[in-house]
Amino acid sequence: MTPVGRAGSAIRPRPQFTRFSRAERWVHRLTAVLMLVCIGTAAILYNGSLSLAVGHRRQVELIHVYCGFALPVPMILGLVSLAYRLDLRRLNRFTEADWRWLRPGRRRPEDRVGKFNAGQKINSWLSSGSILVLLISGVVMYFVGLTPLAWRTGATFVHDWFALALGLLVIGHIVRAVKDPDAREGMRTGSVSAYWARTEHPGWASEFEDHPPDAGLQE
């Protein structure tokens, strides 16, 4: 248990649960930086007023392209980490309770959100899938000798719309994070307060008890 004092709770160290390993936090950090550079340069390359104000298309394009090529690399390197792979497994799996979570009216008291809620899972799928599609369509556009012109036109079309969708997703992700300082702390420091975990992710919080009820049944 790491004693983390905060204003107002300095008397007793708050119990903390480990949420993200160092490897996971670095994957997130590097992906975030590359993503923001891609979004910034994309805006310059795409928007007419910005294009004309900044110019230097070749240099902006090179930054965009190389950050784009690098974008999936932290996620691929993360695979060497067991914690990262285990979290990928959790993000991949979707239960009946997750489907119900998406429609708050249908949620049931016995549905206990695990380490990731359904929205976080879907965000992870859409982000990683979109990054792959942007990478493939970007390669088609950048290496102009690779494919017939019709494919490059198709790739431009795909790249534009996926970029718009992913941009909105990233904005949504940031807005949600801004509203939840505890979640941000989890990604920044690696651990979260037990209180937050029990409130937001009760199914996951119960894994920290000495005799987790679920694990007991299965073993």
Partner 1 sequence: MLPADPQGPPPDGAPVGRRAVLGLLALGVAGIVGGRVVESALDRVVAPVELRDPTGLVSLLPAGATFRYYTVTGPVPKADPVTYRLGVTGLVGHPLSLSLDDLRALPQTSLTKDFRCVTGWQVLQVPWSGVLLKDLIDAAGPTSAATAVRFSSFDGLYSESLTLEQARRSDVLVALQMQGKPVTHDHGGPVRMYVAPMFGYKSTKWLSGIELTAGVQTGYWEQRGYAVDGWIDG
* Footprint on residues 85-104 left by partner 1 (CB under 8 A): 86, 89-96, 98
Which long-range contacts does 208-211 make (Cβ < 8 Å, 24+ apart)? Answer: 208/17
**Number of residues in contact with partner 1, rule: CB under 8 A?**
73
Taking CB under 8 A as the criterion, the residue among 23, 37, 45, 77 binding partner 1 is 45
| Interface with partner 1, residue 215, by CB under 8 A | yes
**How far is it, in rounded angstroms, from Cα 58 to Cα 51?**
11
Q: How far is the CB of 42 from partner 1 (least distance, A)?
A: 11
Helices (H), 47-93: 48-54, 57-70, 73-77, 82-92
Nearest residue (CB) to partner 1, 116 versus 179? 116
| Interface with partner 1, residue 130, by CB under 8 A | yes
Taking CB under 8 A as the criterion, the residue among 7, 11, 12, 58 binding partner 1 is 58
Q: Of 4-12, 26-34, 104-112, 119-127, which part binds partner 1 (CB under 8 A)? A: 119-127
* 3-class secondary structure, 46: helix
Q: Dig out the tokens for 203 from the structure.
A: 């199914």
Q: Of 27-35, 71-79, 115-123, 178-186, which part binds partner 1 (CB under 8 A)? A: 115-123
Question: What are the CA-CA distances from residue 210 to residues 14, 27, 90, 193 (Å)?
Answer: 18, 30, 21, 17
| Interface with partner 1, residue 198, by CB under 8 A | no
| Interface with partner 1, residue 162, by CB under 8 A | yes
* 3-class secondary structure, 152: helix
**How far is it, in rounded angstroms, from Cα 147 to Cα 155?**
10
Q: How far is the CB of 157 from partner 1 (least distance, A)?
A: 4
Measured between its terminal Cα atoms, the distance across the chain in Å is: 26
| Interface with partner 1, residue 218, by CB under 8 A | yes
Q: How far is the CB of 203 from partner 1 (least distance, A)?
A: 9
